[in-house]
Each structure stands twice: as structure tokens, then as C-alpha cells.
């Protein structure tokens, strides 16, 4: 009998990828995905612990699902409620105490054991016992070996996790604690997954890792491959048309990787390279292992290698002790660099991290004012970047259907969403999943509109 699985994904792309793998491992157990939690036999919340707001959201969602669960019970049905991901890793025991409706708590390195955990929960329930399953083991080595892509992907663009965890220990960040130590998958595993994706029709791959440019996977003969090497090979075999990677750390931006941007046509001219702040004193207190100057130099070299490269970043305002002048240095850096897109956050004190107990926590209203100022500048830059593409012809990977009939939505090389409308149905079917040349006609803050002017010759921007 088929059963229904509902998974809600919070947080970063690593979680998006992990959710897909959970769907893969549950499929042979008879679980089919539903988008309605109320229909589900198994509800999984794949959670994020990065900021307080993200973590608190989980508890309100648990409350909502608990009501559905109680309704199910009154109707004589049952539901397994499971909390996975980074909140599970960080506060597993507390979730169990605070939310008795939760049957299972499991951390990011345990997903290969999900079917077993679910079966144990169901067995316990059948025997009239309350399941209390908690698995927050952090040893990473087994996770990916046992997860394979059982489902055939029907997408033109896919994520591929090549590296997990983080040893950088930025003083504000929970990731080293929730994801564990840095770990690179073997070259063979990555290549096997890559070939499987390519065979299923994937033309764009995004290599994922918390610090993906620290990748250092081993081949069967014990040779170590950097991310640069991996990208060069993936461009040849299996020959992806577009290759992206995220998230990178400035301290791991090697010369060779910068050269890849100049030499590998398939490597997209877009890079997410978080800097967090523009003040060296703050960067040091954050334990970032780079300065504002070293970041500027990297960007210069990237632009020399690939003049049309567009940048994205992450920023934190109101780190403990940040003065107005130091925040001003962040604004200065942002104006100098010029971003196509960016994420910015108010510093959020996270339990167990060094920064949470630092003196001089910045008042909430000061953080809010700084964030508003920074976001105004970043969105001005984003609008300007988008408007700059009007009139240009760019290759766009048409990857999903739009809301209107005949509409397809794709991504430019710079990750902009591009909407095109096609006059007849046959074109919609024929161009779905393809890279085509699109002339950009109009730009909004978050998306572009264009018309198809012909198939692209390569996965590269035209003039
Ligand atoms: N590994 C990546 C991303 C980590 S989390 C990297 O090192 O860049 C994504 C972003 O969340 C970070 O880049 C940072 O800007 C933000 N972030 C992390 N911890 C935070 C905290 N405690 N408060 C506010 N923002 C935070
Ligand atoms: Fe967090 Fe820093 Fe590691 Fe990024 S590099 S995941 S911000 S500790
Ligand atoms: Fe959040 Fe965990 Fe990703 S804390 S940002 S889901 S690694």
C-alpha cells in the first residue's frame, strides 16, 4: 500500500538536497510525496538552526502539525511526526521534551537510517507505546555511501553535494556544530552521481558544500582533487553545459579556481562569495580568516579572469561590538564591489557559539536600522544589475512552467529568473529544459522578461 510523505524544507540548499535524498530512501518503502501535511502518514520537518527566527519557526510548525495529528487520531488514523536537520542536531533532547507530539528526532548525518527509524516508530505505535527515537550521530562517512538516487530526476538543473560540514568555526555560526567536521566525498562517488544526473537529462549542476571550495576528495588511487580539478573534469565528462558551486569561503578561493572561471566555459560567470562585514576588526572577532582587503583582491582577480562575472554575498550587521564606523566600512565595501544579488541578516546570538557570550551585544533597534540601510543599497544594486541586462541576448535554461499559459521560466547565467511567453504549445514542450537565447525586454527587481530569439550555441552569455 502506498503511504504519503510530506517534507518541509527550511534553510540552505544542503537541506534542499537532503530532502530529495530522503524522498529517495523512502520511495522503496512505499512512500509517495504529498504537498498536503494533512494527508500524510509521515511528516518530516527538515529544519535550520542558523538564526533564532528560523529555529523558532519549527516549534510553531510542530504545533500546527500536532493539531492535524490529533485530528487523525480522533479519526482512527495515525501519523509519524519527525524532526530532522540542524535544529534536530542542536536541540534534539529539548525538542523531545518541549514537543511530545514529535515521534522522532534525527540529525543531518543519519538519513540513511530513516526507513529503519520510521519502521521502529510505527512498530512502537502499533504496540501502544510512544516512540522516542533520537539519532544525532555526527559521523558522516556512511550517509552518502548508502544514499543513491533511486528516483529518476526529471529536471534540467540539479544539486550535487560534494562536501559537507565546516571546520572554520566563525564565532557566530552553528554550522560546525550541526553539520560536523568538514568532509569531502570521494571523486568516484561524485562522478558516479554526476553521470547519473547527466544520463537523466540534467544539463546544469550546482556543486554544494558548506565550504565547497575547500573540497579535497580522493580518487581510488589516492590522488587528491581540488574543486577546480573537479569542475574541469565535470565539464569534460559527463559534459554538463553549466556548472555552478556554492557556498564558497574567501580563504579557500585558490588561484587555480579563479583560473577555472577564465578557462572553463561551462563554469557560470556568477559567484556567491560571502564577506559578512567590511571591518577588519569585526572580521577578526568573527574568526573569518580573511580581511576586507584580501576579499577585494580576490574579487579583482576574479574580474580579471572573467570580466563579466557577477557577485552575490552574505552580510551580518550588528555583530557584538560593531560600531557605526565599522558598519560604515561594510557599506563602503558593498558600494565598491557592486553585487548582483545578496543576503543580509541581523546578527542573531546562537546558543553555544562564542559570539553569543561576547560583551557589547548590539541593541535590536540599531541592528534593524543598519540592516535597513544595507538592504536599501543592496536592492538598489540588484535593480541596477537587472536593468543593465535589458537589450542583451543571454542563454537561458528554461526549467519550469510559469503561471500564465505558454509561459516558461528559466535562469540566466547570472541566476536571474527570466520569463518568456511562447505562442504555441509545441514550442513550450520543445523548449522545456533547454538552453535558448533570450533577448531581455524588461527588468524588475526580482525577475526579467524576454523573448526567445533562437537556440543557444553554448552555455555562455552572448555579447
Ligand atoms: N557556509 C556558508 C554559509 C553559512 S550560513 C559560508 O560560510 O558562507 C549562511 C549565512 O548565514 C552566513 O553566510 C551568514 O551571513 C549568516 N549567518 C550565519 N550565522 C548567523 C548568525 N548567528 N546571525 C546572523 N546571520 C548568520
Ligand atoms: Fe558558518 Fe563560518 Fe563555516 Fe560558513 S565558514 S558555515 S559561516 S562557520
Ligand atoms: Fe541552516 Fe543547517 Fe543549512 S543550520 S543554513 S540548514 S546547514
pLDDT at 460 over 60: no
pLDDT the model gives residue 1: 75
Q: Which residues contact 117 (CB under 8 A, 6 or more apart)?
A: 82, 104, 106, 110, 133, 135
What is the structure's pLDDT at 461?
A: 45
Grid cell 529503519 in the structure block, residue: 116
How many angstroms from the chain centroid is the CA of residue 449? 25
From the CA of 57, which ligand is nearest?
3
Q: What's the CA gap between 334 and 39, in Å, rounded?
A: 47
If you count DSSP H runs as helices and E runs as strands, how many of each does the chain have, helices first?
14, 21
Instruction: Note the ligand closest to the C-alpha atom of 51.
Output: 1
41 contacts 4 by C-beta, under 8 angstroms: yes
Mean pLDDT of 8-14: 95
Entry field: residues in the chain: 463
The reply to whether ligand 1 has any atom less than 6 angstroms from the CB of 177 is: no
Percent of the chain whose pLDDT exceeds 70 = 95
Q: With a 6 A CB cut-off, is 306 part of the ligand 1 pocket?
A: no
Query: Above 50 in pLDDT, residue 339?
Result: yes
> Omega into 298 within 30° of 0, i.e. cis?
no
DSSP 130: P
3-state SS class at 229: helix
Report the first-to-last Cα separation within the chain, whole angstroms.
55
Q: Does the C-beta of 381 come closer than 6 Å to ligand 1?
A: no
- Region 99-113: mean pLDDT is 93
Q: Which three three-digit cell numbers place residue 209?
A: 558544500
Model pLDDT for residues 416-426, shown as the tens digit of each residue = 999 999 988 88
295 in contact with ligand 1, CB cutoff 6 A = no
Distance CA 52, CA 312 (A): 23
Cell of 320: 557584538
Count of C-beta atoms within a 10 Å radius of residue 402: 16
- For residue 211, what pLDDT is reported? 95
pLDDT score for 424 = 84
Please work out whether the CB of residue 172 comes within 6 Å of at least one atom of ligand 1.
yes
Lining residues, ligand 2, CB within 6 Å: 166, 168-170, 173, 175-176, 210-211, 249
The alpha carbon of 397 and the centre of ligand 2 are apart by a number of angstroms equal to 31
Task: Please say whether the beta carbons of 79 and 72 come within 8 A.
Answer: yes
Is the CB–ligand 1 distance for residue 175 below 6 Å?
yes
Q: How far is the CA of 173 from the centre of ligand 1 (A)?
A: 6
d(CA 116, CA 127): 17
Distance, CA of 450 to CA of 438 (rounded, Å): 6
The 8-class DSSP code of residue 219 comes to P
Task: For 231-262, write each residue's pLDDT tens digit.
Answer: 999 999 998 999 999 999 999 999 999 999 99
CA atoms within 13 Å, Cβ hemisphere of 84:
27
Residue 103 near residue 82, CB atoms below 8 Å = yes
The Å distance, Cα 385 to ligand 3 centre, comes to 28
CA of 276 to the centre of ligand 1 (A): 8
Q: Is the per-residue pLDDT at 432 higher than 80?
A: yes
Per residue in 175-213, pLDDT tens? 999 999 999 999 999 999 999 999 989 999 999 999 999
- pLDDT for 66-96, tens place per residue? 999 999 889 988 899 999 999 999 999 999 9
State the chain's mean pLDDT as an integer: 93
- Report the residue among 14, 163, 166, 314 best suited for mutation to probe ligand 2: largest number of ligand atoms under 8 A from its CB: 166
Pocket test for ligand 1, best of 50, 170, 207 (most atoms within 8 A of CB): 50
Nearest CA, atom 4, ligand 2: 210
Distance 50 CA to ligand 3 centre (A): 6
Is the separation of the CB atoms in 176 and 50 below 8 Å?
no
Ligand 3 atom closest to Cα of residue 108: 2
Mean pLDDT of all residues in 93-115:
93
Q: What is the pLDDT of residues 138-151, one digit of tens each?
A: 876 666 665 555 55
398 phi, psi to nearest 5 deg: -80, 105
For the cut 80, the answer to whether the pLDDT of residue 457 exceeds it is no
The alpha carbon of 138 and the centre of ligand 2 are apart by a number of angstroms equal to 17
State residue 148's pLDDT score: 59
Helix, strand, or coil (residue 133):
strand
- Ligand 1: centre distance to CA 175 (Å): 8
Give per-residue pLDDT as tens, 366-402. Answer: 999 999 999 999 999 999 999 999 999 999 999 999 9
Residues with C-beta less than 6 Å from any ligand 3 atom: 11-12, 14-15, 48-50, 85-86, 174-175, 178-179
Beta pairing, strands 447-455 & 417-421: parallel
Nearest residue (by CA) to ligand 1, atom 14, is: 314
pLDDT band at 458 (very low <50, low <70, confident <90, very high): very low
Ligand nearest to the CA of 315: 1
The three-point CA angle 398-401-402 to 5° equals 110
Confirm or reject: Cβ of 370 under 6 Å from ligand 1. no
- Where helices occur in 398-458 by DSSP H, the ranges are 425-431
| CB of 202 closer than 8 Å to CB of 196 | no
Amino acid at each position: 500500500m502506498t503511504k504519503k510523505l510530506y517534507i518541509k524544507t527550511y534553510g540552505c540548499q544542503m537541506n534542499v538536497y537532503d530532502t530529495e535524498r530522503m524522498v529517495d530512501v523512502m520511495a522503496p518503502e512505499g512512500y509517495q510525496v504529498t504537498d498536503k501535511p494533512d494527508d500524510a502518514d509521515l511528516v518530516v520537518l527538515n529544519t535550520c538552526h542558523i538564526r533564532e527566527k528560523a529555529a523558532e519557526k519549527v516549534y510553531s510548525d510542530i504545533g500546527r502539525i500536532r493539531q492535524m495529528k490529533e485530528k487523525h487520531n480522533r479519526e482512527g488514523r495515525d501519523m509519524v511526526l519527525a524532526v530532522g536537520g540542524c535544529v534536530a542536531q542542536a536541540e534534539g533532547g529539548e525538542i523531545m521534551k518541549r514537543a511530545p507530539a514529535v515521534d522522532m528526532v534525527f540529525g543531518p548525518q543519519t538519513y540513511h537510517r530513516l526507513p529503519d527509524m520510521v519502521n521502529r516508530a510505527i512498530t512502537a505505535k502499533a504496540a501502544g507505546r510512544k516512540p522516542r527515537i533520537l539519532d544525532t550521530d555526527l559521523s558522516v562517512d556512511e550517509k552518502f555511501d548508502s544514499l543513491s538516487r533511486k528516483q529518476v530526476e526529471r529536471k534540467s538543473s540539479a544539486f550535487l553535494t560534494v562536501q559537507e560540514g565546516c571546520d572554520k568555526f566563525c564565532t557566530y555560526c552553528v554550522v560546525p556544530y550541526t553539520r560536523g567536521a568538514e568532509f569531502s566525498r570521494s571523486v568516484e562517488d561524485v562522478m558516479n552521481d554526476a553521470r547519473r544526473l547527466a544520463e537523466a537529462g540534467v544539463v546544469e549542476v550546482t556543486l554544494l558544500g558548506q565550504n565547497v571550495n575547500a573540497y579535497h576528495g580522493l580518487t581510488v588511487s589516492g590522488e587528491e582533487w581540488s574543486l577546480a580539478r573537479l569542475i574541469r573534469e565535470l565539464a569534460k565528462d559527463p559534459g554538463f553545459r553549466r556548472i555552478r558551486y556554492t557556498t564558497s569561503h574567501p580563504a579557500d578561493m585558490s588561484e587555480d579556481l579563479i583560473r577555472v572561471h577564465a578557462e572553463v566555459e561551462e563554469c557560470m560567470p556568477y559567484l556567491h562569495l560571502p564577506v559578512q562585514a567590511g571591518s577588519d576588526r569585526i572580521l577578526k572577532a568573527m574568526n573569518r580568516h580573511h580581511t576586507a582587503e584580501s576579499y577585494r583582491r580576490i574579487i579583482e582577480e576574479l574580474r580579471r579572469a572573467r570580466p563579466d562575472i557577477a557577485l552575490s554575498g552574505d552580510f551580518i550587521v550588528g555583530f557584538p561590538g560593531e560600531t557605526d564606523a565599522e558598519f560604515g566600512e561594510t557599506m563602503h565595501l558593498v558600494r565598491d564591489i557592486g553585487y548582483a544579488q545578496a543576503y543580509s541578516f541581523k546578527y542573531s546570538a546562537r546558543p553555544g557559539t562564542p559570539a553569543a557570550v561576547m560583551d557589547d551585544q548590539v541593541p535590536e533597534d540599531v541592528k534593524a536600522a543598519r540592516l535597513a540601510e544595507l538592504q536599501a543599497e543592496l536592492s538598489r544594486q540588484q535593480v541596477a544589475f537587472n536593468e543593465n541586462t535589458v537589450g542583451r541576448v543571454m542563454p537561458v535554461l528554461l526549467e519550469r512552467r510559469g503561471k500564465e499559459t505558454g509561459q516558461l521560466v528559466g535562469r540566466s547565467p547570472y541566476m536571474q529568473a527570466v520569463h518568456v511567453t511562447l505562442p504555441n504549445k509545441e514550442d513550450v514542450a520543445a523548449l522545456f529544459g533547454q538552453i535558448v537565447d533570450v533577448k531581455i525586454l524588461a527588468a524588475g527587481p526580482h525577475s526579467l522578461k524576454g523573448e526567445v530569439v533562437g537556440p543557444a550555441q553554448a552555455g555562455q552569455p552572448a555579447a
